Chain A
Amino acid sequence: MLVGPLFLFILFTFFIPIGDMLFRSVENSIVTDILPRSTKLLADWDSTTNELPSEAVFAAMVADIKEGRKARTITRVGQRLNYEAPGMSSLFRSSARKTKRMKEGPYKPALIKAHKRWGKVETWKVIKQFIPKYTAGYFLAAVDAKQELNGDIVRLGDEKRIYIDLFWRTLRLSLIITALTLILGFPIAYLMAILPTKSSNLLLIFVLLPFWTSLLVRTTAWIALLQQQGVINELLVFVGLVGTDNRPQMIHNEFGAIVAMTHILLPFMVLPLFSVMKTIPKSYVRAAVSLGAHPWAAFWKVYFPGTIPGIGAGAILVFILAIGYYITPELVGGTTGTFISNRIAHHISSSLNWGLAAALGVILLGIVVALYLLYDKIVGIDNMKLG
């Protein structure tokens, strides 16, 4: 009973949004909702004959557009169809104005006169494609593919592909960041585990300090450090390592994103590592050494295996956080250091293509779940220790 509120909270903040996202990524009822009459008739139209639909369909379309204009929903159809076929948005906008004067039939020549695209079979094919209530179109777009009017699924041309590359980049950068936090975090956690409590507490505070600073402040601090007139570049120039005219670009690119995110995610690696290392008795390494193992071998064969649950927990935590990170790549990533989440945000807030954003989000979620299952299979999730 006591978990009831928590259950409701999780339901409302977690499962319902995710469910909504899953739904939006395939949902496709906008065209049939706004153009009910014409889509109904269009369903029976045989698009393979390359003949325009019948007069009845044109009449229904005019009626739909008139009604859509009154309800101010017609531009939304145009917007939606525009994702698939450029020009549809303006087609509906200009036709909407002209249908006002179409009082009686025949509507077919009238509509074609209003906009010549109505006389093209392709226009109707696009609309017919949108009759099913659910579509894989967003997902296809999210993996740089699209469904041709004849039903074939094809990859986009090279110059139009963005998402697959972006997914790969997100995975690659997340992996690099995870590896870097591990390389940097392992010695810190080890030091914290072997130092006397007093010094290790001090170290812990240094590790946690970034947590107490605003993420924005930390990210902008990196801009101040890494920009071309920034601290590090000035130092390099001062020391004479680089000339003042060819200062390296270290921010607003991949490098900057990696550096800043490694710094920000480091505590998520250090803390699980530390909490696992703390529980490994000193006597293990001593025992190994007394049995004749060189201290390095003792560390590698006895201490290190004990830290694997911590490495697993830290790595999975950092990786999952990195893969969905938004603010830092947005601020310091430039064009080469943006992540897939920046693209998702773009579709949600700028291009308003929520379906595509949802499809990208679902793919991201799928990748995380797949990795989690993979981890569970290899290491075993029971072995994971977060603290």
Chain B
Amino acid sequence: MAENARQAGASSDSAGPSEALVRFAEVQKSYDGISLVVKNLNLSIADGEFLTMLGPSGSGKTTCLMMLAGFETATHGHIYLDGVPINNVPPHKRDIGMVFQNYALFPHMTVAENLAFPLKVRKMGAAKVEERVNRALDMVQLGTFGGRRPGQLSGGQQQRVAVARALVFDPKLVLMDEPLGALDKQLREQMQYEIKHIHERLGITVVYVTHDQSEALTMSNRIAVFNDGIIQQLAPPSDLYERPDNSFVAQFIGENNKLTGKVTEVNVNACGVTLDSGEQVKALPVKINGVNSPTMLSLRPERVLLNPNESECDTTVLGTVEELIYLGDHIRTRMSVCGRDDFIVKVPNATERSELQPGNAVQIGWKLEDCRALDLPATD
């Protein structure tokens, strides 16, 4: 709880009202007038930031983006752009670049005409249009493709044209809704870097939507994890992975070992938990409801130590090796620990680990701060 508050404070510090480019203030959205798809969204996005909205399907990410772009209206609340409320500004006057999932390149225009489109509707002179278009094409390394139709380009090239088109009229803010969703893995990773570099070079603000967590982790300054129309956590990638605020984020981002139990005592920096299997462990209280409340402990697989020294660890328990999966740089070990047989430990492939054989009992342990006491997941 304490940490939660600290983070909220930190984020509003770095994106205070004065420099926030975009601010959602108590925004709600309902399509049918009955259920809220976005529930009370408060979010400030700093100028120059790369913010990613990450969440499972149907969590309201696209809806938020569409409200920002002006294609959906907020049922309640205000959205500010540069400090000005834009609820009543029509989408074509918002000057927000947008990249769509299917690229939405105009098939009857050439690549160059596609790029010239936003400039021509702004009544820019022909010479200047040409210069800008060429500059944008060079930026995405498609200098010689101006005369082609979108249909004659590969998926990755179309994607780049879409990015170039969203940037060619120099918007301060660019929205991207799963722009890489249709590309294969290798191309996706390459495009992630390209988009990231363009963002850094131009100093624009990007709001990016994805449901691929590794994409979110590699690209973003901050990630807003959405679930059920609510931001579950808003934090930089490392915080999100290492210090999840609640059980949803812990399970959604990266791999997570969970142990459930009941809180027996609470101090400022530690709490005691009795696991369902009877063991007593210590954990860092993050989101618990006081003594006797149920809790889920979250432990990252790489933070669990094998045969630890007493001094290294705050908690040690005994586990049985069930299965080994050799992955080169590390060995994924599935163990039975505290009554659960889905406990994963990542063992670095450094030294010979002869005791790691299926059926062997092994001592494992972890530090108190790596074991976070969170709420129980809603459905499990």
**Which residues on A are within 8 Å of B, measured CB to CB?**
281, 283-284, 286-295, 297-298, 301-302, 305-306
Contacts and interface: CB of A to CB of B under 8 A. Distances in A.
Contacts of B95: 292
B104 A287 contact: yes
Given A281-B104, A284-B106, A291 B121 contact: yes
Contacts of A301: 117
Given A297-B121, A306-B107, A306-B108, A290 B96 contact: yes
A366 B101 CA distance: 48
A297 B104 CA distance: 16
A73 to B, nearest CB: 64
A290 B106 contact: no
Contact of B97 (A281, A288, A290, A302): A290
B100 interface: yes
Interface string B91-106: 1111111101110111
B71 interface: yes
A278 to B, nearest CB: 15
A150 B54 CA distance: 91
Contacts of A297: 121
Contact of B122 (A292, A298, A302, A306): A292
A283 B100 CA distance: 7
Contacts of B275: none
B217 to A, nearest CB: 27
B169 A290 contact: no
A302 B71 CA distance: 17
6 contacts: A283-B102, A287-B100, A290-B98, A291-B165, A292-B95, A301-B117
A305 B96 CA distance: 25
B364 interface: no
A364 to B, nearest CB: 34
Contact of B104 (A286, A293, A305): A286
Interface of chain B, main secondary structure: loop
B121 A292 contact: yes
Interface of B: 69, 71, 90-98, 100-102, 104-108, 117-118, 121-122, 165-166, 169
Nearest to A308: B108
A288 B106 contact: yes
Given A291-B165, A291-B169, A293-B92, 9 more contacts: A281-B102, A283-B102, A287-B98, A287-B105, A287-B106, A292-B118, A292-B122, A292-B169, A295-B92
A79 B106 CA distance: 65
B92 A290 contact: yes
Contacts of B118: 291-293
B92 A283 contact: no
A291 B117 contact: yes
Contacts of B106: 284, 287-288, 302, 305
A141 B91 CA distance: 64
A74 to B, nearest CB: 67
Contacts of B98: 286-287, 290-291
A286 B71 contact: yes
Contacts of A290: 69, 91-92, 94, 96-98, 166
Q: Which of A283, A294, A298 has most chain B Cβ within 10 Å? A: A283
B117 A286 contact: no
- The interface centre, meaning the residue of B95, B101, B118, B165 with most chain A CB atoms within 10 A of its CB, is B118
B104 A292 contact: no
Contact of A292 (B92, B100, B107): B92
A139 B282 CA distance: 105
Contacts of B97: 290-291
Contacts of B71: 286, 289
Contacts of B96: 290
Nearest to B168: A291
B98 to A, nearest CB: 4
Contacts of B107: 306
A298 B101 CA distance: 19
A61 to B, nearest CB: 71
Contacts of A284: 104, 106
A196 to B, nearest CB: 12
A294 B97 CA distance: 15
Contacts of B101: 283
A292 B90 CA distance: 10
Contacts of B91: 286, 289-290
Contacts of A283: 100-102, 104
Contact of A294 (B92, B102, B166): B92
Q: Among A283, A292, A294, which residue has the most Cβ atoms of chain B within 10 A?
A: A292
B208 to A, nearest CB: 15
Given A281-B102, A294-B92, A297-B121, A305 B169 contact: no
Give the 7 A-B CB pairs with smallest separation, nearest first: A287-B104, A291-B118, A290-B98, A283-B104, A305-B108, A293-B121, A283-B100
A294 B120 CA distance: 12
Given A293-B92, A294-B92, A288 B117 contact: yes
A198 to B, nearest CB: 14
Contacts of A293: 92, 117-118, 121
A281 B100 CA distance: 11
A361 B340 CA distance: 86
A380 to B, nearest CB: 13
Residue among A284, A291, A305 having the largest count of chain B Cβ atoms under 10 Å: A291
Contacts of A281: 102, 104
B181 to A, nearest CB: 13
A298 B109 CA distance: 13
A313 to B, nearest CB: 16
Contacts of A302: 106
Contacts of B121: 291-294, 297
Contacts of A294: 92, 121
B72 to A, nearest CB: 11
